[in-house]
Amino acid sequence: MPASRRVTRAVAEVLDLAPRKGEVTLQRLVDAVSTDRGRDIEVKMAELPEGVCGQWRQYNDHDEFLIQRGLPTWDRTLAHELGHLVLGHDGIAVAEVARRATEIASDDLISYMLNQRTGCMGPGGEDIEQDAEDFAALLLYRLGRMPSDRSSIVQVRLGEAFG
């Protein structure tokens, strides 16, 4: 399946998990994905190495999305990390975190891919970062257009299919 189709489908799957009542926020979607997987996802602010916007850490029993403190694009970064997770990319196993933090402060910076669109770096390689970026962009776009009344979503979907 082409990357774009995979991303589009992942976004649709996440939106399908959206709570049926109340406003659908990104945080609520993260919670819904967490419930669906049966694994807690904690979202925290953190002081990450310079140039890193977000980080997904995998613990034995839960996941953590760390977002760089003071980042103006919080939502975008959170959606990006969620994209990595639902697209089946690998987060950073916790034992590796310390080692990577050292690497990123050294000349090994070059081994980290620079994400052109956000100026954020990720360890996963260009394709994976691009997928996560596409996911984030599409998810936030769809989220922004989502009616607060869940019952009308079906109509929106139909409108998209035929329109």
- Give contact residues for Zn ion (rule: CB under 5 A): 122, 129, 132
In whole angstroms, what is the distance from residue 10 CA to residue 98 CA?
31
122 burial (CB, 10 Å; 0-12 / 13-18 / 19+) is buried
Residue 25 Cβ vs Zn ion, minimum distance, rounded to whole Å: 21
Q: Which helix (H) or strand (E) holds 37?
A: helix 26-37
Residue 50 Cβ vs Zn ion, minimum distance, rounded to whole Å: 16
Residue 81 Cβ vs Zn ion, minimum distance, rounded to whole Å: 7
Buried b (16+ CB within 10 A) or exposed e, 8-42: bebbeebbebbeeeeebebeebbbbbbeeeeeebe
Residue 162 Cβ vs Zn ion, minimum distance, rounded to whole Å: 35
Residue 105 Cβ vs Zn ion, minimum distance, rounded to whole Å: 19
In whole angstroms, what is the distance from residue 147 CA to residue 130 CA?
28
In whole angstroms, what is the distance from residue 81 CA to residue 68 CA?
12
Q: Give Cα 63 distance to the centre of its chain.
A: 12
In whole angstroms, what is the distance from residue 43 CA to residue 25 CA?
14
Using the minimum distance from each CB to Zn ion, give the nearer residue, 110 or 154. 110
Nearest residue (beta carbon) to Zn ion: 122
